[in-house]
């Protein structure tokens, strides 16, 4: 990926932290422009950065700003992405060449945030939930590029599992094929974003940030390639009733199909529809699980630096 370095902009704070061996945690920007309405998106993004600092690490929000892969967005840049919202291109790996050439903006998905983190040599990335294999993918072939990136880019990704709108069983099968270790933090069951359980088992349960850091260090030292997925269940007090949220998801997916929405527009549409169907409860759960992941990500980053 060295050919992209001329398009890389790392903030002075992040650059100094990396140079002096301080823990740094990468953060995505799609959650800002496409995941939540303004101003909750900006408020949440700044709170996530604050939580990472409180837990001893330096936050590095990643976005495409005027044709640069920007690692360590300023508060003004986060505000800009939040206000511009859906007008910012949702940028996955395939979008990078044209956005960089045109000097345009892009909100980075899990895949592109992993690319930015790897270019800046940041080993840990925190998000809400990863993309995966969509329901009905056996006919639509709708599979998120996040899974391919996990199979190729050496970054540890902390999430609350795959988004509940996906086919979780097929998502795990795809990750197994790509050789990506799926770790449950304190759990043997894959969390399902809004809920703590899914009925599917992770590859391994690890109970401490130190264990997780040790496993990822072994992956890198042995040059096994690819990343590691750490799934962290939403805190119990914010978890939603599975029957209730799954009913809302099924209704949203049915409407999505009737409207012919597909591709990169699918996830933002579904998350917005589910938020409306649940009277905002799903948005609050989304925010709290991201905060929870930020705490864990910072602690893993600290262990990797020791």
Buried b (16+ CB within 10 A) or exposed e, 268-300: bbbbbbbbebbeebbbebbbbbbbbbbbbbbbb
- Locate all alpha helices (DSSP H) within 29-95, ordered by sequence: 30-33, 40-54, 75-84
Pick the catalytic residue: 28, 79, 149, 303?
28
Cα–Cα distances in Å, from 101 out to 29, 77, 224? 20, 20, 32
Q: Compute the C-alpha angle 286/203/263, nearest 5°.
A: 45
Residue 284 CA, distance from chain mean position: 17
Q: Is 273 one of the catalytic residues?
A: no
Q: How far apart are CA 69 and CA 10, in angstroms?
A: 8
Q: What is the DSSP string of 237-302?
A: GGPPPHHHHHHHHHHHHHHHHHHT--GGGHHHHHHHHHHHHTTTHHHHHHHHHHHHHHHHHHHHHH
Q: Which residues contact 209 (CB under 8 A, 6 or more apart)?
A: 296, 299, 300, 302, 303
Q: Among residues 130, 170, 134, which one has the least CA distance to residue 153?
A: 130
Q: What are the CA-CA distances from residue 43 to residues 40, 75, 292 (Å)?
A: 5, 10, 16
Q: Mind giving me the DSSP string for 110-132?
A: HHHHHHHHHHTT--EEE-S-B--
**Would you call 28 a catalytic residue per the annotation?**
yes
Q: What is the CA radius of gyration of the chain?
A: 18
Q: Which of 90, 163, 264, 302 is catalytic?
A: 163
Q: Provide the annotated active-site residues.
A: 28, 163
């Amino acid at each position: 990926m060295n050919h992209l370095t001329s398009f890389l902009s790392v903030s002075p704070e992040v650059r100094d932290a990396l140079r002096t061996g301080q823990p740094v945690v990468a953060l995505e920007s799609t959650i800002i422009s496409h995941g939540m309405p303004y101003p909750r998106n900006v408020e949440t993004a700044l709170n996530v950065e604050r939580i990472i600092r409180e837990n001893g690490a330096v936050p590095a929000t990643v976005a495409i700003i005027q044709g640069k892969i920007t690692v360590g967005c300023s508060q003004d840049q986060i505000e800009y992405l939040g206000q511009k919202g859906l007008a910012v291109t949702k940028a996955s790996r395939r979008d990078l060449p044209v956005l960089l050439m045109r000097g345009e903006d892009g909100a980075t998905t899990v895949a592109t945030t992993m690319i930015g983190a790897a270019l800046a040599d940041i080993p840990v990335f925190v998000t809400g939930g990863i993309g995966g294999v969509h329901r009905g993918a056996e006919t639509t072939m709708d599979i998120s590029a996040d899974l391919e990136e996990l199979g190729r880019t050496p970054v540890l990704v902390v999430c609350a599992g795959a988004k509940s709108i996906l086919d979780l069983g097929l998502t795990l099968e795809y990750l197994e094929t790509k050789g990506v270790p799926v770790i449950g933090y304190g759990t043997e069951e894959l969390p399902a974003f809004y809920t703590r359980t899914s009925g599917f088992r992770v590859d391994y349960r690890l109970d401490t940030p130190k264990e997780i850091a040790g496993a990822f260090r072994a992956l890198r030292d042995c040059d096994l390639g690819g990343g590691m997925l750490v799934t962290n269940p939403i805190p119990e007090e914010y978890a939603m009733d599975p029957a209730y949220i799954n009913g809302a998801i099924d209704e949203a997916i049915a409407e999505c199909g009737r409207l012919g929405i597909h591709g990169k527009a699918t996830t933002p549409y579904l998350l917005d529809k589910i938020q409306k169907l649940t009277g905002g409860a799903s948005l609050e759960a989304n925010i709290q699980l991201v905060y929870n992941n930020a705490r864990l990500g910072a602690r893993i980053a600290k262990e990797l630096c020791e």
